[in-house]
Amino acid sequence: MRPLSYAFAIACLLQSLPSAVSATEKMNGFNLENALVPVDQIHNGGVPRDGIPALYTPKFVDASSADFLLDSDRVLGVHRNGEAKAFPIKIMNYHEIVNDDFNGAGVVVSFCPLCGSGIAFAVDVERGGFGVSGLLYNSDVLMYDRKTESLWSQILGKAISGPARGASLEAIPISNTNWEIWRQRYPGTKVLSPETGYGRNYDRDPYTEYRRSGRLWFPVVAKDRRFKSKSMVVGISFEGRFKAYPLNELPDAKTSIDDSFAGRRLTVQYDKSSASADVFDASGREWPSVTLFWFAWVAFHPDTQVYVSPDEK
């Protein structure tokens, strides 16, 4: 079978099996005792710990040397500490986590193909880097830090078990867009190289059929049928409040909208042709946001607000 296909087949099978893990048992070698989420809602993704290998010493190339990318290829873009870098999703599909450094600032770039969620975190290098646990909560990757072996929910940005239980990571702005737009915005950007040291065919997307299907591979605790499960939304949060901007619902005639959230004015700048958007506050500072599937956002934030165009109110 092709790389990862066996794991995906197992994952589909596991979806139909009841969970029989007690709070004192381990999954993939991780102690789930006193987890912040119900243990029976944590699922084995069909791969062992590090079966999806995170990158700890990533290599980068100049934009002019990124001939392995098409203009339409999607990338996660991070600009921090005066440095811009692009992380092609076709590489992230196979690694999910990249531990990186932006001019001395530790950053973890994460991507969950099952949720379509790309999130970057500012991290303390003393944690020893983050890896892929092989476990899922709400169909979302559970990361782990190599220092304490605590499990961290990507979308929550919080440790749900282990010595770091209850601690939170600082999310930083990240763009989920195509290579053409990111390159135009940051001509001097670096690009994650496909020379990762692993034998992967990064031109083959193992999630094509998954994205086309409305079916989920793993259970989630909350659902909302206002939008198709895998339609893309941009989610923001502030002080325990949440709001989603469905990309398909944004006006065609504009490239930005002014809105308010949690008592603050903000602007959503977007490009519908590339299904990408970024959020800025009244001072022009970019807010951390996440572009992801609707089902994933609402699974974690069932009480989310949803943007409605003034024309539809």
Work out the pLDDT band at 273, boundaries 50, 70, 90.
Answer: confident
Residue type, 155: I
Chain-centre distance for alpha carbon 65:
26
Whether the predicted pLDDT of 17 surpasses 90:
no
Is the predicted pLDDT of residue 288 greater than 80, yes or no?
A: yes
- 143 has which bridge partners? 132, 152
Q: Per-residue pLDDT tens for 91-148?
A: 999 999 999 999 999 999 999 999 999 999 999 866 679 999 999 999 999 999 999 9
* pTM for the whole structure: 0.91
The answer, yes or no, to whether residue 180 has pLDDT greater than 60, is yes
Predicted pLDDT of residue 265: 95
- What is the model's pLDDT at position 269? 95
d(CA 173, CA 280): 10
Location of structure tokens 């940051």 = 186
For residue 196, pLDDT over 50 is answered with yes
Q: What is the pLDDT of residues 31-77, one digit of tens each?
A: 999 999 999 999 999 999 999 999 999 999 999 999 999 999 999 99
As a whole number of angstroms, the longest Cα–Cα distance in the chain is 55
Confidence of residue 185 (pLDDT cuts 50, 70, 90): very high
The lowest-confidence range among 36-45, 67-76, 234-243, 253-262 is 253-262
CA 218 to chain CA centroid, nearest Å: 16
Mean pLDDT on 271-294: 94
Q: How does pLDDT run across 150-174, given as a tens digit for each residue?
A: 999 999 999 999 999 999 999 999 9
Is the confidence at residue 239, as pLDDT, over 80? yes
Output the average pLDDT for the chain. 91
Reported as a single tens digit per residue, the pLDDT across 199-208 is 999 999 999 9
| Structure tokens belonging to residue 273 | 């042709």
Residue type, 113: P
Torsion angle of the four alpha carbons 255, 260, 264, 266, in this order, in degrees rounded to the nearest 10: 0
